[in-house]
Structure 1
């Protein structure tokens, strides 16, 4: 975990492709919907710099997201829920995710209706 940031980085073993499949399975088993994957490496090629293998897995849970967006309509502005599965340069993928404390932060939800406070 990056101290104070609320961002947790896991250290699963394997290349990006296999870790993406594991992340998709974990997200689905938690009752969330995987809405897509975006290959950021491929996108970066179009603008020049080389980016190590990176795939953004996008997901959500209407049971959580609906009350969140009802409480604060601007909650939908910004990045969607997801995690970038990125290679660390040694062939190991490291997908970070937000801790519960970070999700419940002041910019996300102001009431207990969100189920995060």
Structure 2
């Protein structure tokens, strides 16, 4: 696979076994079943085209579950910068759908001093996303 750039260790990338559109649908369904709300679905390729630019297929989903995120934000209001959660689905040069997710549980504890027990519900997200792309 072609290398597409550097990213921090908290960013996890999953190659989907499905096409781009199916990957988006599966992610949304898995998140909904887990009690999450998809707050936004941003077509970044479309935005680029409106600006006269080109971009590979790229969609940003903002999602979360207030039952999981609210206690984190109550513990430290600055942590709201990390919530809602975000993932990006993008198409690589070979036409495979890739899913990038920044695991905020790796940063909320050390950078925002969020207690480990408050991070437990957020730790489920990685597994949910992996299941959606298999």
Answer whether TM exceeds 0.5 for this pair: yes
Alignment of 1:4-19 (within 5 A): 5-19=9-23
Return 5+ residue gaps in structure 1 as ranges: none
Alignment of 1:53-68 (within 5 A): 53-68=57-72
Q: How many residues in Structure 1 have an aligned counterpart in Structure 2?
A: 116
Q: Contact conserved, 2:18 with 2:97, CA < 8 A, in 1?
A: yes
The equivalent position to 2:28 in structure 1, one of 24, 30, 45, is 24
The equivalent position to 1:88 in structure 2, one of 70, 76, 92, is 92
Normalised to the residue count of structure 2, the TM-score between the two structures is: 0.72
| Cα distance in 2 between the residues matched to 1:100 and 1:43 | 26
Partner of 1:36: 40
RMSD of aligned C-alpha atoms? 2.6
In structure 2, the CA distance between the partners of 1:107 and 1:46, relative to structure 1 (3 Å rule), is farther
Higher helix proportion: 2
